């Protein structure tokens, strides 16, 4: 019976060893699943941070464009109101004292007119640049 007893102990040892190896394998695979889930969660959190930053920059850009839209609309309204007055004044002056058909401005007068036009355009451009909000204004981190 000594041989039977030894075999029985060996069989019990093998069963115990197989149980221990099975539980070790289960623990290893479970810890790998937990680690994989933690990595996936970290990736998702990084993606959420990037998405929030993108949303914040998108919102800031939309607000900047909205401000520009309001500014442009206000300027257009001002131009719509001013344009008829300018045209009426021009027509009044033309009707009141028209220039002769053969009237041509001299070279000096033409230079003065061009300089006045350039000065008016430059002043208008400076005024427009001053009224426009900066591209980076309103953007938060």
How high is the mean pLDDT in each 10-residue block of the chain (141 residues)? 80 90 89 90 94 96 96 88 72 77 81 86 78 54 37
pLDDT on residue 73: 94
Whether the Cβ atoms of residue 135 and residue 64 lie closer than 8 Å to each other: yes
How many angstroms separate the CA atoms of 141 and 70, rounded? 25
Q: Which domain holds residue 32?
A: 2-95+108-131
pLDDT on residue 1: 56
pLDDT on residue 111: 87
How many angstroms separate the CA atoms of 99 and 94, rounded? 8
N-term to C-term CA, the chain: 82
pLDDT on residue 140: 46
In a domain, 140, yes or no: no
**pTM recorded for the entire structure:** 0.39
In a domain, 100, yes or no: no
How many angstroms separate the CA atoms of 77 and 102, rounded? 38
Q: How many domains does the chain have?
A: 1
Grouping H, G, I as helix, E, B as strand and the rest as coil, residue 48 is: helix
In a domain, 115, yes or no: yes
């Amino acid at each position: 019976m000594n041989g039977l007893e030894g075999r029985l102990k060996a069989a019990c040892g093998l069963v115990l060893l197989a149980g221990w190896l099975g539980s070790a394998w289960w623990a290893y695979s479970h810890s790998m699943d937990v680690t994989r889930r933690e990595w996936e969660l970290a990736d998702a959190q990084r993606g959420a941070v990037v998405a929030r930053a993108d949303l914040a920059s998108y919102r800031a850009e939309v607000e900047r464009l909205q401000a520009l839209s309001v500014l442009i609309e206000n300027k257009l309204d001002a131009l719509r109101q001013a344009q008829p007055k300018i045209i009426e004044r021009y027509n009044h002056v033309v009707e009141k004292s028209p220039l002769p058909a053969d009237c041509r401005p001299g070279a000096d007068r033409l230079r003065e007119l061009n300089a006045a036009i350039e000065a008016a355009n430059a002043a208008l451009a400076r005024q427009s640049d001053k009224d426009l909000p900066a591209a980076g204004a309103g953007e938060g981190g």
